[in-house]
Structure formats: structure tokens, C-alpha cells
Structure 1
Amino acid sequence: MAITTQTALLVEKSLIEGKWRSEIDEFTAQLPIELAHLVVDGKFSQVLEHKEGRRFFQSPSSLNSSRSGRINDLLSPFAQGLEAELTRLAVAVACLHSFIQVNWTGPALDIKPVELLSDNSALTEEDLNRQSIEELCYGSEPAYHLAQVPTLFRLAQLLLEQPYDHITTIDWWRLRASSLHQHLLDEPVAFPTNILPHVDQLIKHLDGEPDLQGRLWIERGIAHHLVGSDTIAGENFINAARATGLQYEVSGALGRRTKFQHDAVTQLVLLAESRKRNDTVIDATSNDEEKPAVSEKPMQAEQKKDMPEALLLNDDTLLEHTKFTASSASAGALSHIDPQAQPALDPLDQCILLSLCLNVKNTSPVHGLTSEQMYAYVARVLSHPKNWTVYTMALLLRSRLEAKRTRTVERSTFQLQALIDQMPTSDSTLSERLLYFHSLILPSKWEMERELAVRYLSLGVVRSALDIFERLEMWEETVQCWQSLEKPEKGIAIVRDLLEGRKQEADVVLQRGKTTLEPQRPKLDKAREAKLWCLLGDLEKDKALEHYERAWEVSGGSSARSARSLGGYHFAQGNFKKAIPYLRRATQINPLYSRTWFVLGCTYIRTEEWVEAKMCFLRCVEIDQEDAESWSNLASMYLRMGEAGEKVELGSEDVPAEGEEEPKPEDKEALAGAIPFSNKLLAFRALKQGLRFSYENWRMWNNHMIVAVDVGELAEACRALGRVVEERAERDGESCVDMAVLERLVNAVTRVANNTVDGEDVRAARQNPNEGHGLKRRVTDLFTRIVLPRISNSARIWRMWARLLVWEGKWGEALDAHMNAYRAAVVSDERVEVDLENWKEAVGEVEEIVELMRNLGPRAAEEGKGGMKDWKFQAKSVVRTFMGRTKANFGDEPEWERLTELLVELRRAE
């Protein structure tokens, strides 16, 4: 019986899900379906050793011990047709999952790639590994050279790259292979451009398969996460939750977190519920699915059967889990869920929560709330162990969260070590471990060990970290450890030994106790060698240029790392014209490395090429939307360009980029007149976006304030001025207030008539946030909450505040504000008593405050507010006090007569 398209599609879905569909059982005698069934069951060696599987491989003479040829030469010519393509797909998936088994999930693999070849006498495992690692270099980024059986992954890539006319899900597998490839590379590299559009088409064809749709949304989100597009990744994860019908809500519920806590307080909790499914999922605790997770110890006992070991905290204060006392934590659709006894979630929904948990970290600032939110997601998954890989990922995330808390850092480190140790074990089936592997971002063995070494470094255990880095042959981190131990010469020696081919042989000599070197080790691939030359250049500053040029030469002009190093070196030396070609080449090789774009943009600034600089900073913020410095520099570029992108001839008068000096006050009018309004508006938006990720950067706030005033966004200017004062007042005092901007804000409020009649004009004025009543609340808050509590000795600020109070009709408070201005300008100024010019100015201040008392005093008295009910007495006291204070030095001056006449006039008015 021939395999129909419908049957083939069911087989494809089984391969994707890792679960065999019972509808296909009647076709299992067919060879492609038999091989697919073996793949789903995790019996990869049987597939690869099957005679049909071995037909895909050969042993050509071109790939032999002379180290020439490519892995592609190992593949035999392919047959076409549905059954042939289905067989090829099964073999490709077997190769891919075998690679995952060895490097991610364990246990050990029982087959070697060289054994698959029809005639393996001319080839060795080392030949295959060397050539595979070299071919897995992508975007100039080297692949990790100690990855096991890389040949199987390379073969899987090559098989999946072949044309498929009958396989619907081939682009899904290509996406999986590309995501896996990212784990092998030193830095993220852009995905092939033809993958994601085809995947999007596949999502549309999965209607009626909610779990499959959810899987694809997750994996699409993971792909974006791996290249740093966290916002898009988050949208994909939310779409996955919608597809699977997962309901979740972050809420608060009364509970206790410590053993000695008597009163329950609000704790963060994630409420979640899966949709009801009819199918049966591989589940280690399925018989207890509806049992509430109230008891801690029974759960620990259950998971020892076939789940990773979750270490107990054993703390004298903290509870193992938050103990909730409230029976409900929500008033919405999940109000029926008890926080202490939530229902078990489907493992796929657990994958979605863990992905969302990652997105909380990637799209939020680093503060306590983020950690608490992430812990709520992780705790919800840990409460019901359902799958080995999902539970492993949840424990890993918990370990990361606990690494920064003193009471949990010990368990965090031991838990990470336990997760590494469990991989070679056989405590669960291989098929279960692979079931949800592609729906998670589980690190490889070497990535987890590297994470453990970094954890040791953070704890100050440098030697243990050094041992791990040396064993993993992560030489850059090894060198950093030697520098931390204040022995940089040892790091330099390691790099030189590697470049000169002595490093491996030196180890062999030590092991064998010999005094002579053995034959030469295999040659490094060019990507790794170029990286080592760059590392040596970083270490030997006096020979840096020589080493960087050597790296560029070794790579044949294809190493982004060496291009970055050469560009950075010339930039540091001030040779900007020389730096640009190297930096441009680095961005062409690996366009996802945002720092290269940033340095290139700064180089264009130095050469005054504003349009090119703008494009560089645009790329920076496309790659990393949280790069506040790039947003700031992007705004600066908009303010340096005309409508057509030409240079604005203002010198340094425009709003500065990060780290530059501020514009002088007298230059701001020139700035406003020379730059097109459209560019100002773009600069305003760029700064507003950047400030979301650099809230404490007062320079950016200051630039934002100036541009906001220029585009008429006075509400934003008010907010920005407040932030500048909050950040600078303690250090700089009155000088931190931009008086011109503050004056502009007060004018914008007071130029609108303060009409108390609730007419159409007044309602419109209240709706406009940039003038009149609409702006008044913000400006009032700026004075009362931010400026005046911090700066109380500025006469100019008190006068502006008084003008605002007069506009509001608050006569008594306005008169008090004017008195505070007088005290700041005259009473607290000791120069008034000794300096003639200051004394003459003070006489004018005295006359002015008396005149204000005459005008506002009666109104304040009628109002019954303020301290000026007896304003005439207060006015006389002001004049007498000033005259008594300055008579000794200035009693003979002509202005003295004015003061005398003023005092007589006040007495007559009584």
C-alpha cells in the first residue's frame, strides 16, 4: 500500500511532536514509516545503521587523512518522491537528535559517525570532527570545537537543506536546526532569510491543531530570543499561550515565606490553568494529576523516580515554598483557583510559562520586582513535575534566580552542579527528554559548565573556575581567570602555545613524563586561530596592531572579531578614516553585533558624516531596543542634519550626544532656528524611548527637556526638568535648574486666562497638557514636590512660583512666596552689608517687596490665608530691619533718602 499525502502528514506531525499517532499504526510496515517510528522512540542508532539509512552516506576519497574535501561529499545522490523524502527526513532527524542526545540531554550515544560510512578505513573520527567544526563556522563566528559528534549535526543540516517537494514541515525542521546552530557559535548570527517567512505560512496551515500551533509559536519566539529580538519573542510566546488555550495571571495572595512569620502578607503568585485535553501525555506523575501540591516532602519523594533531583533549601529561616493562606487570589476568570493547590499544567504550557519567564527578564529593568515575577513563573512549573527536560529547565532558572541572594546562593550552585551531573544518567527515557526539547532554551553541557564556572568566579572561587575553563578549552575566559589571579603572563603563554601548536603536546608530555615533543597537533581552523590572535592582541597592547593584522590575514578577511579589533584600535588611535573600512566590514560579516554598529556610528560622528552615523545608531536600536546610549546618539544625529541629511552648520550648538558638553544657553535659539522641525520631533521620540532604559541619566533628561521645549511638548519638558533636579540638586544646587525652561513653563500656564466659568474654552484648555490648566498640575507638582523642597534659596524660583500662585488667585501664598524670594535675595546675602552695588540692588528689592505687600496684602487679608493679615506692620518691619542692618556703611548714600521716605509713607498709611 502506497503512502498517501495524508498519512505522510501524520508521520511528519509525529516527528515534530515526538509522540507517535495511533492513526498511523496500520502503515508501520512501510519502510519510511518504520524509520520514523524508530526516531520517535529515540532509537536513532537503529535508523542510522539500517541499510536504508546507510545508503545516504558514502566514504569518498576526497575526504581523507590528507584533510581535504567537505562533509557534503559524504552524502550519496538523493532519490525524489514522497517516500524517499520521508525516509530522508527521518534520517536527518535521527542525526539531529543524536547530536542533541550527546551534547544536551544525555545519555551517551552508542554509535559513531565514522561507523556509518560504507568504507571508513581512510577516515578517522578526528578528520570528520575537524572538518565539521570548520564547516559549522557561520557568519565568521567559530563553532565550539569540543562539541561531540559535530559530524552528525552537519549531516543533519545538509540533509535538511536538500529540496523537499512533498514534506510540509521541512521549514520547521530547518528552523530547529538553525536555532540549535546558534548554541554552537560564539556570538549570535542572523538566521537565513528564507526560513521565518516559510514558517509563518506553516502557522496558518495548522488551524485545528492548537498544540502544534503553540509549539511553532514558541520555537519562533525562541529563534528571535536567540538573536536578541526580545520584543518580537515576547509577542510569539503570548501567541503560543493563546493557541494552546493557556490562561495565566500574575496576582497577589496572602501567604508566608519564612518559618517564623506569624502574619500572612501579600505574596506574588502566578495563577495558571491549561485547557482540557483528551490525549494522554508522557507524565511521570499523571496518576496524581489532580492532587494539590500542598505537601513539600511527598513531591520531593515522587520526583526521584525519573525526574532531576531538586535540592532542598534547608534554611533556618526561609520556607521551601511560599505557603499561601488565601483560598483565592483573583477576581477574574481564574478566581476559582486556590493558590496553594493549583491544577497540574500540560508540559507544553509549562514550556510557554518558562519562555514568558525569560521574556520578563529580557524586557524589564534589573530590579527586585523582575526577580519576583520570574520566581512566580518558575514556582508554578516546579509545583508539578511533568517532564524531565521541562523540569530541568525550571530548576536551572530557579538556580539562576537564587544566585544573587545570600540565603539561596549555596543551593543555587549545588543545584547547577547536580543538573550537569544528571545528564549522562538514564533516569528517564530518551524520548521523554527530547519531547519538549525544541520548546525550551536548554543550554548544552558546555554552556552549563561554563555557567557554573562563572558562578564560581562571582563567589571568588577563581581556581575552580579556571579548572573548568581550561577543561572546556575556553581560552578567553581562562585568560581572564589568570588576570584575576594577577598572573597575566600565564594567560599570554597559553595563547602563544596554542598558536604555535605546543599547547596540546605540552599536556601530552606532562602526562607521559617525556622531555621531547611528539608530532605536531592538527592545525586550528582559521576562525579559531584568528580569534586567538585577536586575544593575544588584547593582552599585548604594545603589539596589538601586529596581532590584529595577523588575525585578519589568517582569516582571509572573513573574521568579524579581527575586523572589530582593527577598527577599534584605529578608532582609539584617532585614525578614524582607517577605522571605518574595518568596522564596516565587521558589520557586513556579522550584522547582529550591536557594539560594532555603535563604534562605527561614533567614528562617523568624528568624521562628521551624520547620515551614516544615524543609520548605524538605527541599527543599534533595532538589535537592542534597550540601548539607551544609542537612542541618545540617534537623537543627536537628527539634530545635526537638515531635511535632506546635510550637515547643520552650528558647531557644538546642537543638543549633545552622550558624554559631550551641554549647549550654552545663548546658543539654544540658534539651534531652534536651524534644525527642521521633523528632525526635532524624531529626536524627541528617540530620547523619550532611550530614557525608558536609562532613567537615572540626567544628561539624557536634560537633552530631552531642551528638545521637548523646542517641539512644544511642555508637559514632557516639565517631567524632564523634574528628573534633572532630582538627580543633580544635592550635588549642584540651584545651578541644576534651567531657569529659561522653568520660566517658559510658568509662562505657558499663566498666559491662559484663569477663568472659573466652566465654558467650552476652559474645558478645551484643561484638555491641552501643554498650556494653561492642562499644564498647571504638572508645573505645580514640579515646584511643590521637587524643586522647592530641594532648592529654597533661589529668589528667581520663588518669584516664578509666586507668579503661578497669583494666576491661581492664591494671594496669601503668593505674598509668602515673594517674601521667601526677598529673604533669598537680600536677607541671606551678606554682601549687601559691605558691597555698594549689592546694597543698591537690595534697595530696589526692598521697594519692590513693599509694593507687593500694598497690592497683595489687602487681598490676602480678605482671603484669610497666609501670614500677611497685618501687611502694613510687616512692610514697616522689612524697611526698618534693612535700614538698621546697613546704616553703618551706607547711611550717607543718596538711595538712603528713598528708604527714609518709604518708611515715613508707611507710617502715614496706618
Structure 2
Amino acid sequence: MSALRSIHSSFIRLNIELNVGVEGFNEQTEAISLISKGQYLKVLNLPLFKKIFTDNSEIKHIIAKYTQQSSASALVVLDLVNHIIMQLSKNLESLSPEVVKTTVLILGVIFLQLFLQENFTGPSIPFENEKLPLGILRDLLKLNKEASTHILSVGGETAYELMESPILLVLSVKILEEVSGSSVSVLSKDFIDMDSETFISKCNIVTNPDVVQSSIQWWKSRAYMVFASVLTGEVSLLTLLPIKLLTPNIVSTLIDLQNKNSPENQEILVLYQLESASVNFSAGVDNSVKDALAKAKTASGLQLILTGCKAKRTKFQQTGNHALLVLAKSQDEFLRSTSSDELSCESPEELQLNDEVLLERPYYEPLEEENTLESEEKDSKRVKIDFSFEPILGSEEDSEVKLLPIALKDDEIPPVLKSLDPNNQPQLASLDMAQLLMRLIFIRENTPSNSAMVESELMALVQRITNSKNVNWTIFSKSLWERSLLEASKSKTIERGVLQMQVLVEDLGMNSVKTRMFSQSGDEQKFLKALIDPDDFQVTPNAARLKYIFQLPLTPRWALDSLLAEKLMSIGVIKSALQIYERLNLSVDAALCYALTGDEAQAEKILVERIAAHPSDARALSVLGDVKQSPELWLKSWEVGKYSKAKVSLGKYYYQPPKDSGLTKDLPAAIGHIFDALTRNPVDFETWFFYGCMGIEASNWNLAAEAFTRCVSIDNSSPQSWSNLASALIKLGKNKEAFSALKSAIRTSQDKKVSSKIWDNFLIVAAKLSDWTSVLLASRELLTLRSNSKSSEEIVDLPVVEKLVQVLLESPYPGSEDSMDYFQKSCVDFICTMLPQVINNSDRSWRIVSRVELWRKRPWMALECNEKAYRAAVNNPELEFNETAWKTAVDACADLVAAFESLGELPGKHGADDLVCKDWKYKAKMTVRSLMSKGKSAWEDSEGWNVLQELKNSLMS
């Protein structure tokens, strides 16, 4: 079993050094080794596969039967594929189940790798060349291309029409589904009518797989990732399936538990985490992406920090200016173990700036040196992977590690990184470079665009890769692409950025690129020679290009060209962008391009022509519906393809109908349409958020709670989602759950700028739960947020403040400030320091402060607060005509007189013979006389006047 595990582990890792012998698996081992070396056609001509795929008369007869039908439909092609799979099983029935499954898996992977090479990495394979030993594969590729493309169009999304050899992907997906024992297929016509949960339940996802099942499940996940990437839009089920298939259990099965910390275990664990990050990134599950990247870093032992450094960027600088720098170092043994089978390949051409002022690369000044002997000794040790909990695959605390750790000070830089030469950092392991790239892509996609700081961070990341030597072709190409995206937004580097993107598109050898601006890569000629004379080449150039393709987001060749068009659009080169869209036959994208430029008539014309030629193109129908604001077209899109965005558009249409439609808001209809959309795409954060907001508007609190629960499960860093969830839970009476949600809303708010609404809810729920420490925290924050309010009564919730004071006063004063507990100190600071700064006009607030000052054994301050409360009441401009204001002033006067009487003769602030107020009687009399003088003309003989008269008489006696 350990040898079988080693075979499949090597297969997953595409390790070219596979020298494991297992009885009955010799041919399979050789095939896997050849696949890792990129020699796919040589695999098909091995005795094992030649017997099945070249010398099999029955399969030849089946293919001949179907290839004679020039207009073969999608059903015919699927029927052919099913017959081929049946023949494979028949020819292998004498072998053991494990050998059969491994053999069929190898065949599915060959087709997948061939398709990837044709459509993602290049160089293109000249299948028409008669010298190539293709066997019946040549006949398969002659099948109706349009029918195969139609099979791959699912979920309302069409597969790209100009992709090369789509039958290869059809074969791969069907073979992998069959060998996995799945009772449903994403290629079936029933796929569109099935909800996600039902489909997944029928996919035979094994919870405790054996070694072969684990390998099958992993490769099946990869095949679905490829399938999802060739569609013109997102099909949620195809992005969910790889996540469901790629479970920790399959990694645990493929790991050698007898040698837990072997380099092979470490590599496969990092591969798993990176692919988990990639599939979750495609599905938009940001939380899981960060989790996986943190665990990948832990597993590989990568040391990484973003820090500041002085650098020269121009040829004329004498001194360096502050710049960002990424310092990174791979764990030594991991670097050695993963570089032992690195594949050579001619890298894409890196264009030079050739600028008269700017340097090609920044020149960094050295960092401060220090003794790193101890740190280097520590780094040389292998990272220990803990498998004590199954499956552990990384610790929980790793998930809190930042995607890009930052060192603000020199002493925060790990010593082993501080000793590095910024201009000549050591070689990184390829998987560590992939980690850096994945982090870069995730940060770029989840931060505001046009942020100078973020762009500087991303450029520092990409320079750490592009400035390295011997970088894998795929990783280097992707790094150059990311650098180009950053440079194309800056005036000084825009030329190189756009031209570099053009170089990368041409280097992939797209058949749709008719003319080249740059010279052709030498890999293409070398690869053609390797195809014709495979024995002359140990490893072919395509092996390096496909080595790490699954560890990064998959982007087909036409998508890169389309992204180039988008960049050209963003900088105003509209004509060139349209030429690319037209060359790629991306009618819908071209229409959107016209719509963005205001030419809706041309956009509509293109879409109408597209729908006439492809009436089942759900995306085209939906986009035309968006242009024309037509509910009929959206409904048609949903009918033909269950296109979720069509239902989203319908929901928004009925939620806010156009003025010229004659309709009024129909909230139930909008909710119904959005619900339908979510059944097809259950990981759409924005749609769940909109759905929840409609639930709140409709007072459907259960719906709102469910929607925002889904939102926070997709992205738990959204404070708005947590806050809205709390609001719904409050309405449902679930105060404890609401309180927890509000805590998360506060924790996830960026820069601690929490809205007053969140703090309001937090305060209310905390008060209901009698959590007075939290009530106090919320009150302090609300006071700070509202300190600019004109009305002091609006700044604080006085009943809440009075309740806080009541809680404070329930315990006796401990005797000194230092003896107070946290709540008492914080409450005293809030009442006696923060509150007085904003309550000048609130007599009620001053009386609250007075009570606390008296509790603190500070009678002089208590009296002063009563005086301020009186002045606030007397200075009310409504005193002469508003009886309520008059009564308030009278009450304040009575309170002040009582304070003079009870506090005046107490020991004062300075001790000894000092009193709080020696002449308290005189001041009390003057206070009463002053108020009577103010109110005589308006309030003589009123109830309040009589109170003052009684106070005056009592003081005179």
C-alpha cells in the first residue's frame, strides 16, 4: 500500500523522478512518469494503451461510425464517449479493480493535460501533422467541434467557441466521472434542472477514500476547475464541486504516516493548501482562501515580511527614498527537495523599460546587519507537521496570520530575513513563489483599486518573484502579467505594461493571433521536435508549463487576450479592444464594450445577431435584457439556461421599476426572483446581501437572518452583514446571538470606524443582557462619534447613562481611585471626564455627574456640577414662554439650594479648615432671588413661583 501511495502521490505532484515498483502497476508507473515529463503521445503508444486505443478494432469501428456523420449532434458525441468508456472497462476487466481505476484515471489525465496544453499554456500541438503517432486520437479530433463545445455549455453559460480540441475535455470529464463512480454528470442535460445539494449528493464524493479514490477525487477536482474556466461566465455548481471534492481526507490518505515529515508529505500538503486557496478564490469564499494560504505558509516554512527600505528608482538619484520591500526566504530543505525535479523551459520575453530616467529595477540600500547564526541554525531544521489530529492540516491560529505580514520597525524583521541582501535575495521554492502570487492576486481582487499604497505593496510582491533566477515558466508568466496590470495604470510605465501583456498573449501561441509583434518562442520548435522524435528528449518544454498550473487561478489563453482588451478599454484604446473581442468571437463582451461607450444601438445589434445564431445562449439573452430592460428576455434566459444573473436582473427590476414602465415596486416578486437566482448560485455574496436587505424591508426577519448568515459564511469580514444579521436576530428575540453578531461587526470594521447604528444596537442588546461593561463601552464610543452634534441631548442616551450610574453607585466607593475595578474606573472617566466636555446645555447631565462626584467623596465638585446644571436650565432661551423650561429651572434651583445646604459645610478640596462653600446661605439666597427676578413678569403666581417663594422663606428663617 505504501508503494501505491507513493505512485499516486507522485502523480498528484507530477514528479518526474518516479522509481517505484509495484506488482501489476509497472506500466501504470511508466505512464505516470511520462505524463510528468510532458510526453503524452508517448503514453498513448505504450503497450497498455496501444492495445486499448490504437489496436482495438471495436473502438475504431465506433469512432468510424460517428466520424462519418459530419453533423454529429451533442448527444451523438456523448454517446460515442460512453461507448469508448465501456470498451475501456471491457478491455481491462481481467485486471484488479485498483489497476483498472488507475489505468482509466491515467487516460482521463492525459486528455486533461492535452487540453490544458492546447488552451492554457501552449505550445500548440499540430495534430494535423501526419508524422505524429496519434492513432485514433486523430479521428476523435475530427469530430464535430461545435457539438463538443455545445456539450460543455452548461448552467446557462456557453463554452468558448474557439477553444481548441474541446472533445479532449469532454473525454477527460466523462472518464473521471465514470471512474469515480458518480451517478450524475455535469455534461448531462439534467444538470441544469438540478439544485446544487441534490447534484453534489449524487457525485459519490467518498468521505473516507482509499489511495486510488483520493487520487481520482483530486484529479476530478482539477478537471472541474478547468471546465469552469472555459465557460464565458460563472456556474456556481462547477465552482462548488472542486471545493467539495478537495477534502482534507484525501490528503491524509496520500500522506505517508510512517514518515510524516518527509519532503514528499510536505510538498503534497502545500499543493493541497494552494489548490484549496485557488478553488475557493474562484468560488468567492474569501475566508477559506486566507485560511488555506496561512496553512500553506506554515507547511512550507516560508518566511515572509513586508517592510520599508530606502531605494533608488531613477538613474540620477544620489540618495534613496523610502520604498516598500518584500523579504522572503524558503525553508532550505523544502527548497532542495522541490527543486530536485525542476523542469527547464525557455522563459517568456521580459521587456525592458528603456527609460531615460527610471532604472530597470529599484536599487535597494542594505538593511542593518546583525548576528544571525542562531536564526540560521533554526531555519535549517525541517518544518514539523503535526498530524496528531486527523485531519489537522495546519493550526487554527494560522488562519489569523495576515496575508502580507508587515514589519513597521527594524526589530520586527525576523533576523534571518534582516540579513538578506535586498538586491540579491536567495532562490525561492517554486511553490513558495506560487504562494506569493496567490497572495498578490487575492489582495488585488479584495482591495480598492487605484490605491497607491496597495499598488506599492503588490509591486513589492511581484518584484520578489521577477527579480529571482530560474523561475518556473507558469509562475514567471503570471508574475509578468500581474506586473503589467500594475504598470499599465501608471503614465511612466504604461507602454511596457501593455506591450508585456501582448508578449505573453503571443507566447501562448494562440491560433487566433494572426500577426505577431514579437519574435516566436523557441519552445514551440523544440516541442515539435520532441513530438516527432520523443526518444531524443527526456523532458519536453510543455512539462514545465503545466507543472504548477493548478496551484494558481486558471486563466485560458483567450481570457488573457480578453483581459488585455479590458486594459486597453480602461486606458481609452477602444478600437484595439474591440478588435480583440471580434477576433476572439466574444460577441457579448464586444456588445458590453459598445454599451459602455454609449453605443447601445450597436450593442443591441450584436446581441440580436448572436441570439439568432445561438438561441440558447442564456448570457446573451440576459445581457440583451439588461440593455433593453426587458423582463421577457430575462425570463427567456432563465428558461433556456437557468442563468442566475437573469433572475438577479429581474429581482432588481421589480424592486425598483424604471419610471417609464408604469409599474410600482413589487417586493414579493423581487424576493421570489432573487431566491431563484440563489438556488443556482448559492455563493453569490452580493445577491445574498440584497436578498437580506429586502427581507428587512419586508419585515421578514427569518428570511433576513438566513440571508445575512449566508453572507457572513461567505465573507466574515463584512461589518454590514454582521450588523444586519444582528438587527434581524434582535427582531426575532435572539439577543445572545445578536450580541455575538454585533461583536463581529465591530471587530471586522476597518480602522475601527464603526457606524453609530452598530454601536446603538450593541448598546441596546447589551442593556437587555445586563452586560453593563459593554453598555459602557458602547456609550463611550457613541459619545466620541456624536461629539459634533449640536444638541447635547442627542449625544448620549441619558436613561442609559443614569442606569450606568445606578449600577456604579450600588457598590460603595472603595476609598481611592487606585482601588477601583475596571468598570468603576472606566465609568468614572466616562461620566466625570468625557461627558462634561459635551453637555454644557444639559442640566440633567450635570446632575448625573454630580451624583458620581458625590460618590467619589468630592463634594466640592458635586456642588459645582449642581451650579452648572442650574446655569444650563436658567440660560434656556425658552424660559420666558415655555412652562416646561420654567419648571426645569425651578427644579434645578431647588436642587442647587439643597446642595448648598447639604454640602456647603463639608470639608473642602484643600483640607484643614477649608469648606466646600463657607457662604453657602448667601449664595443660596442670591440664586433664588435671581431666578424669581427672571420669571416675575411671566410666571408670577404659577406653581413654580410658589416653590421659589417657599425656598426663599425657608432660607430667610
1:250: Cα distance to partner? 3.0
> CA–CA distance in 2 between the matches of 1:450 and 1:889?
83
> CA–CA distance in 2 between the matches of 1:782 and 1:426?
74
What residue is the counterpart of 1:191 in the other structure? 241
Given the alignment of the two structures, is residue 347 of structure 1 paired with residue 430 of structure 2, yes or no? Answer: yes
1:350: Cα distance to partner? 2.0
> CA–CA distance in 2 between the matches of 1:239 and 1:420?
33
What residue is the counterpart of 2:120 in the other structure? 104
> CA–CA distance in 2 between the matches of 1:864 and 1:434?
86
Match of 2:909 among 855, 858, 862: 862
Given the alignment of the two structures, is residue 170 of structure 1 paired with residue 216 of structure 2, yes or no? Answer: yes
> CA–CA distance in 2 between the matches of 1:488 and 1:110?
41
What residue is the counterpart of 1:755 in the other structure? 814
SS of residue paired to 1:213: helix
SS of residue paired to 2:19: helix
Contact 1:634 1:683 (8 Å CA) reproduced: yes
Contact 1:203 1:216 (8 Å CA) reproduced: no
SS of residue paired to 1:221: helix
Given the alignment of the two structures, is residue 716 of structure 1 paired with residue 800 of structure 2, yes or no? Answer: no
> CA–CA distance in 2 between the matches of 1:10 and 1:890?
99
Q: How does 1:542-557 map to 2 (within 5 A)?
A: 544-555=630-641
Contact 1:38 1:44 (8 Å CA) reproduced: yes
- Structure-2-length-normalised TM-score: 0.72
Contact 1:143 1:184 (8 Å CA) reproduced: yes
Q: How does 1:319-398 map to 2 (within 5 A)?
A: 320=362, 322-327=364-369, 329-330=410-411, 334-335=415-416, 337-341=418-422, 342-358=425-441, 377-385=461-469, 386-398=471-483
What residue is the counterpart of 1:291 in the other structure? none
Q: Deviations over 1:241-285 (max 9, x none)?
A: 3333x1424364654476669687796644433232554727999
What residue is the counterpart of 1:509 in the other structure? none
Q: Deviations over 1:842-899 (max 9, x none)?
A: 344344345445555666842489x997784994798499569838945966767987
> CA–CA distance in 2 between the matches of 1:783 and 1:381?
57
Given the alignment of the two structures, is residue 243 of structure 1 paired with residue 312 of structure 2, yes or no? Answer: no
> CA–CA distance in 2 between the matches of 1:861 and 1:702?
40
Gaps of 5+ in 1: 287-302, 502-522, 642-674, 767-772
Contact 1:683 1:707 (8 Å CA) reproduced: yes
Give the letter aligned to residue 634 of structure 2.
Answer: Y
Match of 1:43 among 29, 35, 39: 39
What residue is the counterpart of 1:272 in the other structure? 329
Q: How does 1:38-187 map to 2 (within 5 A)?
A: 38-47=34-43, 52=50, 54-55=53-54, 59=63, 61=65, 64=69, 65-67=71-73, 68-71=75-78, 73-74=80-81, 75-76=84-85, 77-78=87-88, 79-80=91-92, 81=95, 85-111=101-127, 118=136, 124=142, 127-128=144-145, 130-163=146-179, 167=212, 169-185=215-231, 186-187=233-234
> CA–CA distance in 2 between the matches of 1:325 and 1:217?
32
Given the alignment of the two structures, is residue 590 of structure 1 paired with residue 681 of structure 2, yes or no? Answer: yes
Q: How does 1:667-746 map to 2 (within 5 A)?
A: 675=733, 679-694=734-749, 695-730=753-788, 733-734=791-792, 735-746=794-805
- Compared with structure 1, are the counterparts of its residues 355 and 166 closer, same or farther at alpha carbon in structure 2 (3 Å cutoff)? closer
Give the letter aligned to residue 738 of structure 1.
Answer: D
Match of 1:532 among 602, 620, 625: 620
What residue is the counterpart of 1:807 in the other structure? 855
1:156: Cα distance to partner? 1.8
Q: How does 1:419-434 map to 2 (within 5 A)?
A: 419-424=504-509, 426=521, 429-434=541-546
What residue is the counterpart of 2:892 in the other structure? 845
1:393: Cα distance to partner? 2.9
1:32: Cα distance to partner? 4.3
Match of 1:620 among 700, 706, 711: 711
> CA–CA distance in 2 between the matches of 1:871 and 1:113?
113
> CA–CA distance in 1 between the matches of 2:109 and 2:434?
22
What residue is the counterpart of 2:725 in the other structure? 634
SS of residue paired to 2:179: coil
Contact 1:182 1:226 (8 Å CA) reproduced: no
Contact 1:360 1:373 (8 Å CA) reproduced: no
Contact 1:99 1:153 (8 Å CA) reproduced: yes
- Structure-1-length-normalised TM-score: 0.75
1:613: Cα distance to partner? 4.5
Given the alignment of the two structures, is residue 484 of structure 1 paired with residue 579 of structure 2, yes or no? Answer: no
Q: Deviations over 1:537-590 (max 9, x none)?
A: 22223xx222223223333xx443444444554555554555565544433333
SS of residue paired to 2:16: coil
Q: Deviations over 1:711-744 (max 9, x none)?
A: 2233333444444455555466542533333333
CA RMSD of aligned residues (A): 4.7
What residue is the counterpart of 1:651 in the other structure? none
> CA–CA distance in 2 between the matches of 1:859 and 1:472?
91
Gaps of 5+ in 2: 181-209, 371-409, 510-519, 524-540, 657-663
Contact 1:103 1:148 (8 Å CA) reproduced: yes
Bigger RCO of structures 1 and 2 (CA < 8 A, at least 6 apart): 2
Give the letter aligned to residue 309 of structure 1.
Answer: E
Contact 1:420 1:448 (8 Å CA) reproduced: yes
Contact 2:3 2:21 (8 Å CA) reproduced: no
> CA–CA distance in 1 between the matches of 2:787 and 2:211?
70
> CA–CA distance in 2 between the matches of 1:284 and 1:195?
25
Contact 1:113 1:151 (8 Å CA) reproduced: no
> CA–CA distance in 2 between the matches of 1:491 and 1:498?
11
Contact 1:253 1:324 (8 Å CA) reproduced: no
SS of residue paired to 1:250: strand
Give the letter aligned to residue 109 of structure 2.
Answer: V
Q: Deviations over 1:304-333 (max 9, x none)?
A: x73551655959689726544322545686
> CA–CA distance in 1 between the matches of 2:621 and 2:831?
56
1:682: Cα distance to partner? 0.9
> CA–CA distance in 1 between the matches of 2:9 and 2:273?
15
> CA–CA distance in 1 between the matches of 2:252 and 2:342?
35
- Compared with structure 1, are the counterparts of its residues 789 and 421 closer, same or farther at alpha carbon in structure 2 (3 Å cutoff)? farther
1:376: Cα distance to partner? 5.1
> CA–CA distance in 1 between the matches of 2:902 and 2:697?
58
Give the letter aligned to residue 43 of structure 1.
Answer: Q
- Compared with structure 1, are the counterparts of its residues 339 and 804 closer, same or farther at alpha carbon in structure 2 (3 Å cutoff)? farther
Q: How does 1:455-466 map to 2 (within 5 A)?
A: 455-466=567-578
SS of residue paired to 1:20: coil
What residue is the counterpart of 1:20 in the other structure? 16
Q: How many equivalent residue pairs? A: 807
SS of residue paired to 2:362: strand
Given the alignment of the two structures, is residue 202 of structure 1 paired with residue 244 of structure 2, yes or no? Answer: no
Given the alignment of the two structures, is residue 496 of structure 1 paired with residue 579 of structure 2, yes or no? Answer: no
Contact 1:754 1:807 (8 Å CA) reproduced: yes
> CA–CA distance in 2 between the matches of 1:468 and 1:34?
43
Contact 2:285 2:714 (8 Å CA) reproduced: yes
SS of residue paired to 2:717: coil
Contact 1:450 1:468 (8 Å CA) reproduced: yes
- Compared with structure 1, are the counterparts of its residues 864 and 891 closer, same or farther at alpha carbon in structure 2 (3 Å cutoff)? farther
> CA–CA distance in 1 between the matches of 2:76 and 2:831?
72
- Compared with structure 1, are the counterparts of its residues 781 and 836 closer, same or farther at alpha carbon in structure 2 (3 Å cutoff)? closer
> CA–CA distance in 2 between the matches of 1:340 and 1:54?
55
SS of residue paired to 1:326: coil
SS of residue paired to 1:177: helix
Give the letter aligned to residue 717 of structure 1.
Answer: V
Contact 1:795 1:825 (8 Å CA) reproduced: yes
> CA–CA distance in 1 between the matches of 2:138 and 2:727?
63
Match of 1:213 among 250, 269, 279: 269
1:535: Cα distance to partner? 1.9
SS of residue paired to 2:879: helix
